[in-house]
Amino acid sequence: STFLQRAYDQIVHDVCLDAHHVIFALDRGGIVGDDGPTHNGLLDLSYLRSLPNMVVMAPKDENELRHMMATALNHNGPIALRYPRGNCEGVQLDKKIQPLPIGKGEVLQMGDDILILAIGRMVNEALVACKTLLEHNIGATIVNCRFIKPLDTALIGSLVEKIPHVLTVEENVINGGFGSAVLECLNDLGISGYSLRRLGIPDTFVEHGPQALLRAKYGIDAPSIVDAAIKMVEKGA
């Protein structure tokens, strides 16, 4: 992810301008931690989603990564998939690998009190948080958005109209990232009457350190999601 920053001009002029079929597989997307601050891949969702013709996606686990690779191979144009440094989730792998519909998310859990829109590795943090929220009598709808660009505007819009408390969760800088894309989407759809909080990395460079510690420090792990959700729901009660 960080190394691709050096090739930004080539991505723009040599790939996106003429919509060439180039696949960008971004390893070390998100907090890298033990590789040092220069290796944290916390800017790519922001700098890639602004590019015309580019598709940007992030899998929730290793099984979905396989399907996204098939999606990338099948797509006729520039496409990027970003995945984290670290161990796999240990999920069961599908026997058949097939392309995903571009720009379509999936609802993983239904609840009436808060909507959590998550991308990439943060989906599993959101699912863990969902179980804890039930202990506080808070039901959460969890969406694995899959695509940062294009967003599933129809799904997001329909859910926000039903559930006005919204959290977006990303392992990327907040500025211009996934949460910003959701806000732009809701504005373009003309939806109002909701409250939205973006969880992500603030306007700073993340230091060296263990991944779990850094995720907790910057408020993007499951306990942080729980805390943000409880505050949002209680404030709106």
CB atoms within 10 A of CB 89: 14
- Could you read off the pLDDT of 42-53 as tens digits, one per residue? 999 999 999 999
Residues 108-115 have a mean pLDDT of 98
C-alpha 70/C-alpha 221 separation (Å) is: 29
- Could you read off the pLDDT of 136-146 as tens digits, one per residue? 999 999 999 99
- Could you read off the pLDDT of 52-84 as tens digits, one per residue? 999 999 999 999 999 999 999 999 999 999 999
| 222-236 and 122-135 helices, crossing angle to 10° | 50
Q: Which pTM value belongs to this model? A: 0.96
pLDDT of residue 33: 84
237 confidence band (pLDDT: 50, 70, 90): low
pLDDT of residue 130: 98
C-alpha 236/C-alpha 204 separation (Å) is: 30
